[in-house]
Amino acid sequence: MKLFRAILLFAIAAFAPGKMFGCAACGSENGQIIGSPMVDGMNLGILTLGTVLLMVLSAALTMLIYFIRKSEALEAAAQKNSPLATKV
């Protein structure tokens, strides 16, 4: 199944029309607009958005890891202090 998906994706990419590979930032077929300040600003905006998204997702992942470690530490402490715990 994965091989079929890979072959299908390759076929779509290989036989796709040229307009499909246009500039995502400017959306224009004009080659002179690529160096314009408006396109540079759009690219900087995309980079900024990606950076902010990466920072927010990293913070959420860090918080999740902290909660997991804290939960494991509390559980270990509770088992250690439990009167039902057997010492081997």
In this structure, is residue 49 part of a structural domain? yes
In this structure, is residue 31 part of a structural domain? no
In this structure, is residue 3 part of a structural domain? no
What local confidence, expressed as pLDDT, does residue 5 receive?
A: 85
In this structure, is residue 75 part of a structural domain? yes
Structural domain boundaries enclosing 54: 38-80
In this structure, is residue 22 part of a structural domain? no
- The band of 88, judged by pLDDT with boundaries at 50, 70 and 90, is low
CA dihedral (19, 24, 27, 30) positive or negative:
negative
What is the per-residue pLDDT across 36-64, written as a single tens digit (0 to 9) for each?
A: 777 777 778 889 999 999 999 999 999 99
DSSP assignment, residue 84?
T
What is the per-residue pLDDT across 19-41, written as a single tens digit (0 to 9) for each?
A: 555 555 555 555 556 667 777 77
What local confidence, expressed as pLDDT, does residue 43 receive?
A: 79
Structural domain tally of the chain? 1
What local confidence, expressed as pLDDT, does residue 37 receive?
A: 77
Amino acid at the residue 37: P
